[in-house]
Amino acid sequence: MLAIKNGRFIVPDENGDFVFRTEGVLLCDGERIKGFAEEKDIPADAEVLDAQGNYVAPGFLNVHIHGCAGSDTMDADIDALERMAKLQAQTGVTGFLPTTMTCKWHEVEEALLAVKETMQCPLAGARILGAHMEGPFISPQKKGAQAEENIRKADYKLVKPWADVVKIITLAPEELTDYTFVDECHAAGITVSIGHTAADYEETLQAVKEHGIHHFTHVYNAMTGFSHRSPGVVGAAFDTDANCEIIADNVHSHPAAQRLLYHAKGGKNIVLITDSLRACGLGDGPSELGGQEVFVKGELATLKDGTIAGSVATMNRCVKIFWENTGAELPQIIEMVTKTPAQELALYEDMGSLESGKRADIVIFDEEVRIHKTVIGGKVYYHD
């Protein structure tokens, strides 16, 4: 039994919206949350964690991350995935989707195999919940830091063997011959996401409204921007209730752009991601992404030609930045890294909130969103 006391707990209210709760003690029985109790009812043999007035929230979920700690999903290596999992846990993440690149298809399959094997034999650190395929079904015009020679047309025959691993696929809707591929993905429980796309507003709105694509990959980046006469993909993201990823590192999106997304979406249907690469956690210097050389200086990672590559941000840092930039209430921000992604992955019955019966994946952090403890499956994995 694990008991957490003296916390500012972030929990759902009767409407499901996250709010603060300061009374009571959170009890965990094994890998599951038991619920709240009075301090006098803490079992004598319980391990007691004193949150010391800090925030206590569900463990963060990171649905778009290429790498960190010198490792990358495309290494197709279980040890590399474990290094990523360990650093994720240190930054408050308890579950994540290793994300593939637009590489040669056999390389993507090798990476997916490593993810599958790791899911079947969990390693130390944050749990791997599946994989996010960023490409190769994207637009050459908006390839960003993806390798154009590996871009190809969407073909579900390629994806079908990995349907039990892949949870999200990023694609450009205008590159589809028809929406059969999307229908097959949805039937398999795979979330299709709009990203790396040169589509216009009307094409994007059709994809969302008529074909049920309710996710946008790193809004603002690698997509047609907003103009008052041509709203583009960004306009469609604002104008629908689809979930929108955003890299809140002040590099990939200006603070004002973060505020605009927050207000356009009414504070809902937003998913904070890191989109980090292997250089995350290593500091300045050369690195690599999808076989391409990357240079890191401070918060900025670029290819040789100056194209912005993935980020070097951590999830707790993104939470802090988005909180500062938007002025939103913290419980609402926490929904963006817990409840919202869990719901989209059809995992909210099992994780994503501090409710009885759910997984005891918990993070304790302070006003600076410095992580003090990360609990995974009812056991303290990380403490500062």
pLDDT band at 141 (very low <50, low <70, confident <90, very high): very high
DSSP 8-state secondary structure symbol assigned to residue 21: E
Q: How far apart are CA 195 and CA 94, in angstroms?
A: 25
Q: What is the value of pTM for the model shown?
A: 0.96
Half-sphere exposure of 163 (CA within 13 A, CB side): 15
DSSP 8-state secondary structure symbol assigned to residue 69: T
pLDDT band at 327 (very low <50, low <70, confident <90, very high): very high
DSSP 8-state secondary structure symbol assigned to residue 99: E
Residue 299: what pLDDT? Answer: 87
Same fold, 2-57+352-383 and 60-344: no
DSSP 8-state secondary structure symbol assigned to residue 320: H
Q: Which of 313, 314, 309, 315 is nearest to 288 (CA)?
A: 309
pLDDT at 380 over 80: yes
Residue 94: what pLDDT? Answer: 98
Higher pLDDT, 178 or 287: 178
Residue 115: what pLDDT? Answer: 98
Q: Which of 120, 164, 111 is nearest to 290 (CA)?
A: 111
pLDDT band at 289 (very low <50, low <70, confident <90, very high): confident
| Type and span of the H or E element at 324 | helix 315-326
pLDDT at 290 over 80: no
pLDDT band at 303 (very low <50, low <70, confident <90, very high): confident
Higher pLDDT, 308 or 219: 219
Q: By percentage, how much of the chain surpasses pLDDT 70?
A: 100
pLDDT band at 74 (very low <50, low <70, confident <90, very high): very high
Residue 122: what pLDDT? Answer: 80
CATH of domain 2-57+352-383: 2.30.40.10
- The domains of the chain are located at 2-57+352-383, 60-344
CATH of domain 60-344: 3.20.20.140
Q: How far apart are CA 74 and CA 380, in angstroms?
A: 29
Q: Scanning the structure block, which residue is given the tokens 């229908």?
A: 183
Q: What is the pLDDT of residues 14-57, one digit of tens each?
A: 999 999 999 999 999 999 999 999 999 999 999 999 999 999 99
Q: Which of 206, 119, 223, 126 is nearest to 170 (CA)?
A: 223
pLDDT at 371 over 90: yes
Q: How far apart are CA 131 and CA 119, in angstroms?
A: 10
Q: What is the pLDDT of residues 333-364, one digit of tens each?
A: 999 999 999 999 999 999 999 999 999 999 99
Per-position DSSP letters for 301-355, written without gaps between them: EEETTS-B--B---HHHHHHHHHHHH---HHHHHHTTTHHHHHHTT-TTTSSSS-
3-class DSSP assignment, residue 333: helix
Residue 37: what pLDDT? Answer: 97
80-89, 112-121, 301-310, range with the lowest pLDDT: 301-310
For residues 133-145, average pLDDT: 95
Residue 65: what pLDDT? Answer: 98
pLDDT at 304 over 90: no
Residue 185: what pLDDT? Answer: 98
Q: What is the pLDDT of residues 182-206, one digit of tens each?
A: 999 999 999 999 999 999 999 999 9
Instruction: Judge contact between 74 and 106, C-beta under 8 A.
Output: no
Q: What is the pLDDT of residues 145-167, one digit of tens each?
A: 888 999 999 999 999 999 999 99
Residue 165: what pLDDT? Answer: 98
Q: Scanning the structure block, which residue is given the tokens 């919940």?
A: 129
For 376, phi and psi rounded to 5 degrees? -125, 120
Residue 159: what pLDDT? Answer: 98
Residue 324: what pLDDT? Answer: 98
User: Which residues form the catalytic set?
Assistant: 275
Q: Which residues contact 50 (CB under 8 A, 6 or more apart)?
A: 5, 6
